[in-house]
Amino acid sequence: MISAFAHTRTVEFAETDMAGIVHFSNFFRWMEACETAFVRSLGLPVVSFMPGQAVGWPRVNAQCDYRSPLRFGDTVEVRLLVKEVRTRSICYVFQFRKVSDGQVAETPVAQGEIVAVCVAGDGRGGMVAQPIPDNYRTKICAAPRSKWTEA
C-alpha cells in the first residue's frame, strides 16, 4: 500500500504575481495536480462513472501555510503524504520543497492540507457521501505521523 508520492514542476511566469513571487492560489492548483498524478499512478480513476451515478472527491477543507517564496523558473517538489484514510474521506498533507542542482531542500517552503470526501450523485443533482471504495482502500494507507509533521 502507498502513503506518499512526489511530483516535480517548474514555476511558470504566469504563476507569479507582480513581485515575481508565486501567487498563493497556485499552491492549491499544484496540490490538486499532485493528488491527480498520485491517484493515476495507482491505476485508480480520478472520477468514475458507475451506472446511474458519478463518484467524485470534492474538497471539504483546504489550507496552506507559506514560509518562503518561490519565483519564476524555480523547481519545486510537491510531496503528497496520506495523513488519514477515514470511512468516507481522505486527508492529504502536501509539502513544497525547492529543488536546486538536483537536490531537494530539507525545509519546506510551504505545507498544505486537503480533505477530500468520496461522494456519489443523489439522483436529484446533489451529492451524498459514501464509503471509500475497496479499490482505493487496498492501495492507499496513511503515512507515519513523523513524515507529515517533520516540517
What is the domain-level CATH number for residue 118? 3.10.129.10
Output the pTM of the full model.
0.92
Report the b/e string of 70-96 with b at 16+ CB within 10 A.
beeebbbbbbbbbbebeeebbbbbbbb
pLDDT in tens, the chain (151 residues): 889 999 999 999 999 999 999 999 999 999 999 999 999 999 988 887 766 566 889 999 999 999 999 999 999 999 999 999 999 999 999 999 999 999 999 999 999 999 999 998 877 778 889 999 888 999 999 998 887 676 5
**What is the total count of domains within the chain?**
1
Tell me the CA distances in angstroms from 113 to 50, 54, 60, one per residue in order.
Answer: 28, 25, 11
Selected catalytic residue, list 17, 65, 101, 122:
17
Q: Which domain holds residue 8?
A: 4-148
17 is annotated as an active-site residue: yes
